[in-house]
Structure 1
Amino acid sequence: MNEFEYKGFIYSSDDSILGDKESIKGESCEPSKLYKYYSYNNFSIDALRKQYLYASHPYQFNDSMDSTWLLLNFKNITKETYIRLLEYCLNTKTKGEVDELFFYDKRQSFEYIRLLFYITISRTRGFVSLSSNFTNNLMWGHYSKETGFVIELDMEILKDNIKILNNDIKNFSLTPIQYVDKLETIDMLREEFKSPFLPFLLATNVKQNNWAYENEWRLRIHKELMDTPKDLSFAIKNFIEIISQKEDVKIDFPFKNDRKVYYPKEAIKGILLGKNFLSQDKYCKKVRNNNGTILFFKEEEKEFIEFVNFLVDNFSDKLYHSSEYYNCDSSLERHLVSIKLEKIDYYTFKLNKIQN
């Protein structure tokens, strides 16, 4: 087992591409429940309807410095190690005629072997970003835009069923993100690193402190042949052409979209609706107080009405509404109230707020 301590976090890996015993231990205990924030769009509707989480490739993160290959520093790599890594990425033996490749890449600060390694290892990995905080104003504003929703997930139920519902998943882990003052590049040739898997584990789990408000936990998924973003693989097109000329090999990066992680309905403990989810003028034709609030939805907004009916039919006892609350000192904060949506007909609902 390969283990490395970094600023209070313990990173460990069994050096397997499938992450058999990969773990990250920080200061906080794993929460029993975590939250997934969604904007209202076709992708989030589909994810809730079919009960899956999308395990993103790190290249798709909204922060380009999150899990970037630029954190991997190959400046101390020797030609012998370079050859071994090249053979690992190519899954073939080289002819040994790599001097020109090595010195060409060295002049580029080993940009190409870094990208080639990053693409090779990341295509079997996917990441689901979750939060332990469901009342953070920045999260609601940035990720749900107050018109989206948040799913409350029971993590024990979810983890117990991942491999049952996803037989292509080899391994997974749930890890706390480590927030740091500055992002330091990682010397891939450190003596403590017995293989490149551990520094990759570290590189994909550190974020700058200005993201700490997210309280992120990352579900790390390992399965073979997930998609590689096309523009990422195109970034090393010239280097691949040089390799092919020298080594007579072809490299094919799969462009599959196999990053869905299914979970059981029982794992959903709550659907938290944004403050403006039900009251948008473009969806709601009329709102009237009558022992509660009557919502008349516009018949032409078929997709939204269908989704509201889906929520009521499947999660009527698990719906909550985000709103503001005055404390006894007159300060204002966000809170959630349990709500009941009573279906009058397919287009009309009675809304009652039950309790905090």
Structure 2
Amino acid sequence: MSKQFSYNNFIYEKESSSEKGGVKIINAIPYPEKLHKFYPINSFSVDALVNGYFYASHTFELNDYLDSSPFLWHALKPLDFEFYKEFLGKDVPRDELIKFYEADASNVNLCKGYISKYWEIISNIFGIISLTANENSLLMWPHYTQEKGFQITFNASELEVSINDKIGQGQCFGVFPMNYTEFLNPIDISEFDSMHIPFFYATNVKSDKWKYEDEWRFLIGKPMMGVPNSKMGLNTEMDFITSPKNRYTFYDNRLVDHITLGINFFTAQDFNLEWLNEKHFKVSPKNSITNWNYKSYKKLLFYIHENLKDKIYHSGTKYELDKKNNHFLIRTKERLEIKKVGWDTYIFTRTEDIIKIF
């Protein structure tokens, strides 16, 4: 049985000495200096920042149906009975297990029942945290923030250490770059003596249509994280409900390097907005029936003022010249200063400290 699998210049190698039963994902992609997380503006994202955690998503909650899918597993020959015994032997009587094995491990079914059951159970004990090394993607700002949300930036190695320090009785694997590929080829689980490599492969491979995201991923293992079956189309199974907090994965939020607000974060629809002069503008969130995020804006601005006042940027745009002296637009971010002047009123100052991001 193989203890290593190569695909698309990635090598998946089981760590036999690891107490956690992990898999090394070997690749030539340089470890990033910074990692970023894009958020829309809502109560969930603001709470995650304020309390220093990421939500480790179930696969049904990912925005790509084929990402981390059980369809990325198949068996070209029947598995040994020991697979079934090790996985289900404690919960299923032996005679029932033998009957299930004989039907499922036939040349007709090729272990489809085993794959389905394995995925159903394991998805209750792992979750996915996605970050990006792409600081200013033209697509990610609108896709994940609608240009109104925010982005938080970390030193990658400090964040990885912090998550591992705070994981407690859980397990943290990663952070790994995604293996972007033209074709999503299923892995033959019958070639391996355990499901370690197939699991890490299935949660790491992704269509190259998503390559612009430059995603780096943590895999989080915890008991009883829940299975939101109702989020999957045409699935009539009941949700396996646990506390959503079981999927929270904490980090030291003092490690936030800086926060960048979307270009449409401050709008007259959601804020009382007044330009005092070319450099200074005053804002306070509007408490109106049309501003569903009033409390989130209020909470976020207070947190920024108290904890990130020297680490705040605002997205913008700027013209540059190409080699033929033609103008083209680029994205930028400008550092802001913040001063509290009322209960929920702030004055922001543009510093003209601008970072160009091509």
Q: 1:285 aligns with which of 272, 276, 287?
A: 272
Structure 2 unmatched runs, 5+: 289-293
Task: Give the CA deviation at 1:235.
Answer: 5.9
**Who is 2:13 aligned against?**
12
Alpha-carbon deviations, 1:101-121, whole Å to 9, x = none?
Answer: 643686666443211011223
**Who is 1:177 aligned against?**
178
Query: How many angstroms apart in 2 are the aligned matches of 1:223 and 1:316?
Result: 35
Query: How many angstroms apart in 2 are the aligned matches of 1:160 and 1:216?
Result: 18
The reply on whether 1:30 has 2:17 as its aligned counterpart is no
**Who is 1:43 aligned against?**
44
Q: 1:255 aligns with which of 235, 242, 248?
A: 242
Query: For the Cα contact (< 8 Å) 1:312–1:341, is it kept in 2?
Result: yes
1:44-59 → structure 2 map (5 Å cutoff): 44-59=45-60
Q: 2:341 aligns with which of 321, 344, 348?
A: 344
Query: How many angstroms apart in 2 are the aligned matches of 1:15 and 1:58?
Result: 27
1:23-172 → structure 2 map (5 Å cutoff): 23-78=24-79, 81-82=80-81, 84-85=83-84, 87-89=86-88, 91-92=90-91, 94-97=93-96, 98-99=98-99, 102-103=102-103, 110-172=111-173
Count residues with an aligned counterpart.
338
The reply on whether 1:276 has 2:264 as its aligned counterpart is yes
Q: 1:296 aligns with which of 270, 283, 289?
A: 283
Query: How many angstroms apart in 1 are the aligned matches of 2:28 and 2:175?
Result: 14
**Which deviates more from structure 2 when the two are superposed, residues 156-165 or residues 138-147?**
156-165
Query: How many angstroms apart in 1 are the aligned matches of 2:247 and 2:275?
Result: 43
Query: For the Cα contact (< 8 Å) 2:335–2:350, is it kept in 1?
Result: yes
Task: Give the CA deviation at 1:65.
Answer: 0.5
Q: 1:222 to 1:100 in 2, by over 3 A?
A: closer
Task: Give the CA deviation at 1:33.
Answer: 1.4
Task: Give the CA deviation at 1:143.
Answer: 0.4
Task: Give the CA deviation at 1:265.
Answer: 2.3
Amino acid at match of 1:228: V
TM-score of the superposed pair, with normalisation by structure 2: 0.85
RMSD between superposed Cα atoms in Å:
2.9
Task: Give the CA deviation at 1:352.
Answer: 1.9
**Who is 1:245 aligned against?**
none
Q: 1:315 aligns with which of 302, 308, 320?
A: 308
Q: 1:235 to 1:188 in 2, by over 3 A?
A: farther
Query: How many angstroms apart in 2 are the aligned matches of 1:89 and 1:45?
Result: 41
Query: How many angstroms apart in 2 are the aligned matches of 1:139 and 1:232?
Result: 23
Task: Give the CA deviation at 1:17.
Answer: 10
Query: For the Cα contact (< 8 Å) 2:36–2:152, is it kept in 1?
Result: yes
**Who is 2:291 aligned against?**
none
Query: How many angstroms apart in 1 are the aligned matches of 2:181 and 2:257?
Result: 32
Task: Give the CA deviation at 1:220.
Answer: 1.4
**Which deviates more from structure 2 when the two are superposed, residues 88-97 or residues 211-220?**
88-97
Query: For the Cα contact (< 8 Å) 1:149–1:274, is it kept in 2?
Result: yes
**Who is 1:215 aligned against?**
214
Query: How many angstroms apart in 2 are the aligned matches of 1:288 and 1:171?
Result: 46
**Which deviates more from structure 2 when the two are superposed, residues 127-136 or residues 11-20?**
11-20
Amino acid at match of 1:296: V
Q: 1:345 to 1:166 in 2, by over 3 A?
A: same
Task: Give the CA deviation at 1:70.
Answer: 0.9
Between the aligned residues of both structures, percent identity stands at 28
Query: For the Cα contact (< 8 Å) 1:19–1:172, is it kept in 2?
Result: no
**Which deviates more from structure 2 when the two are superposed, residues 221-230 or residues 193-202?**
221-230
Task: Give the CA deviation at 1:39.
Answer: 0.6
Query: For the Cα contact (< 8 Å) 2:39–2:145, is it kept in 1?
Result: yes
